Chain A
Amino acid sequence: MVRGRIRARLRRSHLYTFSCMRPAPSVTEGPNPVQGAGFSRTVFCNQSLLHKKKPFKYSSNSISTTKYNPLTFFPKALFEQFRRVANLYFLLAALLSLTPVSPFTPVSMIAPLAFVVGLSMAKEALEDWRRFLQDMKINLRKVKVHVGDGVFRYRAWRKVQVGDVIKVEKDQFFPADLLLLSSSYEDGICYVETMNLDGETNLKVKRSLEVTLPLEDDGTFKDFTGKIQCEDPNPNLYTFVGNLEYDRQVYPLDPMQILLRDSKLRNTTYVYGVVVFTGHDSKVMQNSTNSPSKRSRVEQKMDYIIYLLFTLLVVISLVSSIGFAFKTKNDMPDMWYLRPDDDTDDMYNPKKSAVSGLIHLVTALILYGYLIPISLYVSIEVVKVLQASFINKDIHMYDEETGNTANARTSNLNEELGQVDTILSDKTGTLTCNQMDFLKCSIAGISYGTRASEVELAAAKQMAMDLGEQADDFSNFPMHKDKKASEIELETVVTTNNDRRTAIKGFSFEDTRLMNGNWMKEPNNDVLLMFFRVLSVCQTAIPELNEETGTYTYEAESPDEGAFLVAAREFGFEFYKRTQSSVIVREKYNSSGKPVEREYKILNVLDFTSKRKRMSVIVQDEDGQILVFAKGADSIMFERLAKNGRVYEEATTKHLNEYGENGLRTLALVFKKLEESEYSAWNNEFQKAKTSIGADRDVMLEQASDMMEKDFILLGATAVEDKLQSGVPQCIDKLAQAGLKIWVLTGDKMETAINIGYSCSLLRQGMKQICISATNSDALAQESKEAVKENILNQITNGSQMVKLEKDPHAAFALIIDGKTLTYALEDDMKHVFLGLAVDCASVICCRVSPRQKALVTRLVKEGTGRITLAIGDGANDVGMIQEADIGVGISGVEGMQAVMASDFSISQFRFLERLLVVHGHWCYKRIAQMICYFFYKNIAFGLTLFYFEAYTGFSGQSMYDDLYMLSFNVILTSLPVISLGVFEQDVSSEVCLQFPALYQQGAKNLFFDWRRILGWIGNGVYASLIIFFLNILILYHQAFRVGGETADMTVMGTTMFTCIIWVVNSQIALTMSHFTWIQHVLVWSSIGMWYLLLLLYGLASPSYSGNAHKLLIEALAPAPIFWASSLLVTVTCNLPYFAHISYQRCFNPMDHHIIQEIKYYKKDVEDQHMWTRERSKARQETKIGFTARVDAKIRHLRGRLQKKHSSMGGTQNTVPAL
Chain B
Amino acid sequence: MLVSIIFIPIGVASLYASRDVVEIIDRYETDCLPENSRSNKDQKVQYIQGPGNKTCSRTIRVPKHMKKPIYVYYQLDNFYQNHRRYVKSRSDEQLRKNSSASDVDACKPEDNGVNGLPIVPCGLIAWSLFNDTYTFSRNSQKLVVNKKGISWKSDREHKFGKDVYPKNFQNGTLRGGKLLDSSIPLSEQEDLIVWMRTAALPTFRKLYGKIEEDLQPNDVIQVILENNYNTYSFSGKKKLVLSTTSWLGGKNDFLGIAYLTVGGLCFFLAVAFTVVYLVKPRQLGDPSYLSWNRNPGGH
Quick one: which of B68-85 are within 8 Å of A by CB?
69, 71, 73, 75, 79-85
Q: Is the CB of B80 within 8 A of A956?
A: yes
Interface string of B223-254 (1 = CB under 8 A from A): 00000001001110000000101111111101
Distance in angstroms between the alpha carbons of A1005 and B127 in the assembled complex: 64
Q: How far is the CB of A1036 from chain B (nearest CB, A)?
A: 8
Besides the contacts A1102-B158, A1103-B96, what 15 more A-B pairs have beta carbons closer than 8 Å?
Answer: A337-B86, A338-B83, A956-B83, A958-B87, A998-B292, A1038-B75, A1043-B247, A1050-B197, A1103-B159, A1125-B10, A1129-B255, A1147-B277, A1175-B287, A1175-B293, A1179-B292
Interface string of A1047-1058 (1 = CB under 8 A from B): 111111110000
Distance in angstroms between the alpha carbons of A1174 and B108 in the assembled complex: 78
Which A residues are CB-close (under 8 A) to B114?
none
The answer to the question of B117 belonging to the interface, with a C-beta cut-off of 8 Å to chain A, is: no
Q: Is the CB of A1162 within 8 A of B200?
A: no
The answer to the question of A1218 belonging to the interface, with a C-beta cut-off of 8 Å to chain B, is: no
Query: Of the 9-residue stretches A214-222, A757-765, A1115-1123, which lies at the interface with chain B?
Result: A1115-1123
Quick one: which of B94-147 are within 8 Å of A by CB?
96, 108-110, 124, 127-128
Q: Is the CB of B262 within 8 A of A1133?
A: yes
The answer to the question of B203 belonging to the interface, with a C-beta cut-off of 8 Å to chain A, is: yes
Q: Is the CB of A952 within 8 A of B273?
A: no
The answer to the question of B5 belonging to the interface, with a C-beta cut-off of 8 Å to chain A, is: no
The answer to the question of A767 belonging to the interface, with a C-beta cut-off of 8 Å to chain B, is: no
The answer to the question of A698 belonging to the interface, with a C-beta cut-off of 8 Å to chain B, is: no
Chain B residues in the interface with A (C-beta under 8 A): 3, 7, 10, 14, 23, 69, 71, 73, 75, 79-87, 92-93, 96, 108-110, 124, 127-128, 150, 152-155, 158-159, 174, 176-177, 197-207, 210, 230, 233-235, 243, 245-252, 254-255, 258-259, 262, 265-266, 269, 273, 276-277, 282, 284-287, 289-293, 297-299
Distance in angstroms between the alpha carbons of A136 and B200 in the assembled complex: 63
Which B residues are CB-close (under 8 A) to A1174?
287
Closest B residue, CB atoms, query A1164: B285
Question: Taking chain B's interface residues, is the majority helix, strand, or loop, or is none over half, making it mixed?
Answer: mixed
Which B residues are CB-close (under 8 A) to A960?
82, 200
Knowing A953-B83, A1005-B299, A1045-B245, say if A1155 contacts B205 (CB, 8 Å): no
Which A residues are CB-close (under 8 A) to B204?
1038, 1047
Cross-chain pairs A/B with CB under 8 angstroms, 29 sampled: A334-B233, A338-B80, A338-B124, A739-B298, A953-B83, A953-B84, A956-B83, A956-B84, A958-B82, A1037-B252, A1038-B201, A1039-B250, A1040-B71, A1050-B197, A1050-B198, A1050-B199, A1051-B197, A1110-B154, A1125-B14, A1125-B255, A1126-B255, A1136-B266, A1147-B276, A1151-B291, A1152-B290, A1162-B284, A1175-B290, A1178-B290, A1179-B290
Q: How far is the CB of B198 from chain A (nearest CB, A)?
A: 5
Which A residues are CB-close (under 8 A) to B124?
337-339
Knowing A1104-B93, A1147-B282, say if A1034 contacts B254 (CB, 8 Å): yes
Interface string of A1087-1106 (1 = CB under 8 A from B): 00000000000000011100
Closest B residue, CB atoms, query A1171: B287
The answer to the question of A1181 belonging to the interface, with a C-beta cut-off of 8 Å to chain B, is: yes
Q: How far is the CB of A242 from chain B (nearest CB, A)?
A: 58
Knowing A1049-B197, A1111-B154, say if A958 contacts B84 (CB, 8 Å): yes
Which A residues are CB-close (under 8 A) to B276?
1147
Interface string of A803-817 (1 = CB under 8 A from B): 000000000000000
The answer to the question of A691 belonging to the interface, with a C-beta cut-off of 8 Å to chain B, is: no
Quick one: which of A318-342 are within 8 Å of B by CB?
331, 334-339, 341-342
Q: Is the CB of B210 within 8 A of A1129?
A: no
Q: Is the CB of B298 within 8 A of A1147?
A: no
- Of A337, A1005, A1125, the residue contacting B128 (CB under 8 A) is A337
Knowing A960-B200, A1035-B255, say if A1161 contacts B285 (CB, 8 Å): yes
Q: How far is the CB of A597 from chain B (nearest CB, A)?
A: 64
Knowing A1034-B254, A1116-B152, say if A1043 contacts B249 (CB, 8 Å): yes
Distance in angstroms between the alpha carbons of A1158 and B254 in the assembled complex: 41
Of B14, B127, B252, B273, most A-chain CB atoms within 10 Å = B252
Knowing A958-B87, A1050-B199, say if A1045 contacts B80 (CB, 8 Å): no
Interface size classification for chain A: 35 or more
Q: How far is the CB of A17 from chain B (nearest CB, A)?
A: 54
Distance in angstroms between the alpha carbons of A1044 and B82 in the assembled complex: 23
Closest A residue, CB atoms, query B263: A1132
The answer to the question of A1143 belonging to the interface, with a C-beta cut-off of 8 Å to chain B, is: yes
Q: Is the CB of B159 within 8 A of A1110?
A: yes
Q: How far is the CB of A464 from chain B (nearest CB, A)?
A: 23
Knowing A337-B128, A1038-B204, say if A348 contacts B85 (CB, 8 Å): yes
Which A residues are CB-close (under 8 A) to B154?
1110-1111, 1115
Q: How far is the CB of A459 from chain B (nearest CB, A)?
A: 23
Q: Is the CB of A1182 within 8 A of B14?
A: no
Q: How far is the CB of A962 from chain B (nearest CB, A)?
A: 12
The answer to the question of A1031 belonging to the interface, with a C-beta cut-off of 8 Å to chain B, is: yes
Distance in angstroms between the alpha carbons of A193 and B87 in the assembled complex: 78
The answer to the question of A1033 belonging to the interface, with a C-beta cut-off of 8 Å to chain B, is: yes
- Of B158, B199, B287, B293, the residue contacting A1159 (CB under 8 A) is B287
Q: Is the CB of B285 within 8 A of A1159?
A: yes
